[in-house]
A and B are shown apart, each in its own frame.
Chain A
Amino acid sequence: MDYFIELLFSGLTRGSIYALIALGYTMVYGIIGLINFAHGEIYMIGAFTAFIVATVLSIYGFPLLAIVIIAGLAAVVWSSSYGYTIEKVAYKPLRHAPRLSPLISAIGMSIFLQNYVLLAQTSDFLPFPALIPDFAFMEPVAHIVGSTDVAILVTTFVVMIILTVIIKFSKIGKAMRATSQDRTMATLVGINVNQVISATFIVGSSLAAIGGLLIASHIGQINFYIGFLAGIKAFTAAVLGGIGSIPGAVLGSLILGLTESFATGYVTSDYEDVFAFTLLVLILIFKPSGLLGKAANQKV
């Protein structure tokens, strides 16, 4: 039974990180119909920012809580500004171009950012400081569930609630939902669509930055390439749950994380990815728009 719980938590931890990244994919897709392949890189940049800020602050001897908060905020702000700028530079000029153009632009942006961090920082793996300490009250169960697992789950849960409140009740949230339903109509009723799109990129990037900080302090290392695989997996999760749907992205991510964890635990880790992608294929065969995705009624 312990084993089952351990695997469950490993899966949930992984799934939570996927969810934080997948939300960025799904929100951007919902609003401008673009798959933002540079999103994995935003996650990586978030982790790097947190790394740099945390290292500097720990040299000056700040208390851990202050380091976590300041590094977290810095990561969120820095990543958001990257997300915002990428949209302005790489996607906005192509908004009325054929759908393939912004997609290629996104892939280019992803390669650019990876190499930029490679040159500006290093190609080596760097040790990430343990921003999440081992809580004393977790010690009796630490061999089953780690403090970082719990911290990741709780943080993700809180972030999800905040996001839901923003989307459901705030003015910008309403504008986002309106824009995703019909962009032209939203413009007609006086919504500043450009602002809404920017806001979406900022929110998505912030979530990815939080994910980057959490996972980096969980595994204790980063390098410039971590965004690629994480981005692909999170994108898979978003498609699994139905791309464009926010609850779908979370559900898809948790299912993907749990599948990988249980496949490793009960079958073999050699085929971890095979199980994850087989599941994706099966779901797409029976529900082509994903678990919670709306059936796409093409406007002709």
Chain B
Amino acid sequence: MKFNFSGKLVSAAACLCIALSAPALSLAQDTIRFGVAGAHSGDLASYGLPSVNAAKLVIDKVNANGGINGKMVELLVEDDVCKPEVATNTATKLVSDKVDVVLGHICSGATIAAMPIYKDAGVLVMSPSATSDELTYSGNYPNFFRTIAPNAAQSPAMVDFAIDKLGLTKLAIIHDKGDYGKPLAEGAKAYVEKTGKGEVVLFEGITPGAMDYGAIVNKIKQSGANVVIFGGYHPEASKIVTLMKKKRFDIKFVSDDGVKDDTFIKVAGEAAEGVYAAGPQDNSQNAMAIAAKEEHKKVFGADAGAFFEGAYAAAVAMLNAIEKAGSTDLAALTAVLQSEKVATPVGEINFDEKGDAIGVGFSMYVVENGQYVVVQ
């Protein structure tokens, strides 16, 4: 009896909630509805909240100047906690609120889960952080754009750096057999073979967490390679570079953004010096990025967090597209995004037919005196 009662109470409360939230949806489209979706709570909130702040800054500025084509921009914020199963609800909520464009989502998995809903509704989506290749390369999501480089761009970046910049053409490509490292390494190998500008002298997977990598270091040495390309995370990378140093085996080590982490430098210590790693593009010289960050500090009283520049860029690019297209129709927006260059904190960008921003890529960093610095 007691349980029945509480069951009724719950359903009554649920009804009340629905009833209360319903009037909030005014259906008159006299504003441009700008959705922001992503991880705004939970342990990955630090990745998602900067994009909310970025959207606020951009929208406040636009509204202060009289809006776009006479319409004010309205901000709708929805949390997906970085979980695919929540992201579908988030997307449904935004679509039923008649959102025009969405900034987000943050995590690749959540974005992939939410995309079909936006696609059916014909809503433009632009993410500052979802790097999964599937989002743009599969061709499944013509309404998806992003202001960060995809995973697939990282392998060519590492190879180009080793061959063109360092002038080292004999590559030993090593990976950790994982979901992240192996595709990167395979991409690098395929890229070297396609361009024909270098030679892969060794391609091997190592067991993550193995006791030591003495044998594989010997093998790299025996292969005659003059540079190691490593796809994987920093624990394995630090073991390899430590043993290379112990073996007096001094060749360049080029790796990915799984290694561009301060823990790597802390653990590998001296052996980390001179290690190259790819990482998100460095925008510290971009005037717009500097201005946006200062503005953030002034308005919110704190430093801007991860993906802030990309989110700011996405907000600027989408609102610019709405203004130029004169509507929020997906086809019109897509045409503008692809053809018109727009100045953003991540540079002057437009988008290719897949949805990736042209001109946004990876920067190479090198460890110098215990710090990652950008290679010029």
Contacts and interface: CB of A to CB of B under 8 A. Distances in A.
B371 interface: no
Contacts of A71: none
B204 A13 contact: no
B226 interface: no
Contacts of A272: 206-207, 210, 215
A265 B267 CA distance: 26
B246 interface: yes
Contact of A220 (B204, B219, B269): B269
Nearest to B216: A269
A7 B239 contact: no
Interface in B209-237: 209-212, 214-216, 218-219, 221-222, 234-235
A260 B209 CA distance: 14
A148 B248 CA distance: 13
A55 interface: no
Contact of B238 (A125, A215, A268): A125
Contacts, number: 100
B267 A127 contact: yes
B142 to A, nearest CB: 38
A22 to B, nearest CB: 13
A127 B269 contact: yes
B341 interface: no
Contact of B211 (A148, A225, A233): A233
A14 B212 contact: yes
Interface in A223-237: 223, 225-226, 228-230, 233
Contacts of B246: 134, 142, 146-148
A127 B218 contact: no
Interface of A: 3, 6-7, 9-11, 13-14, 17, 124-127, 134, 142-143, 146-149, 215, 218-221, 223, 225-226, 228-230, 233, 260-262, 264-265, 268-270, 272-273
SS class, residues of chain B in contact with chain A: helix
10 contacts: A7-B218, A9-B214, A125-B267, A142-B246, A146-B246, A226-B209, A229-B209, A229-B211, A269-B205, A270-B204
B268 interface: yes
B215 A264 contact: yes
Contact of B218 (A220, A226, A265): A265
A127 B207 contact: no
Nearest to B210: A229
A261 B206 CA distance: 12
Given A125-B238, A127-B266, A219-B243, A265 B212 contact: no
A17 B211 contact: yes
Contacts of B266: 127
A125 B235 contact: yes
B300 interface: no
Contacts of B263: 124-125
B239 A221 contact: yes
A262 B215 CA distance: 8
Contacts of B268: 127, 220-221
Contacts of B216: 264, 269
Contacts of A3: 218, 222
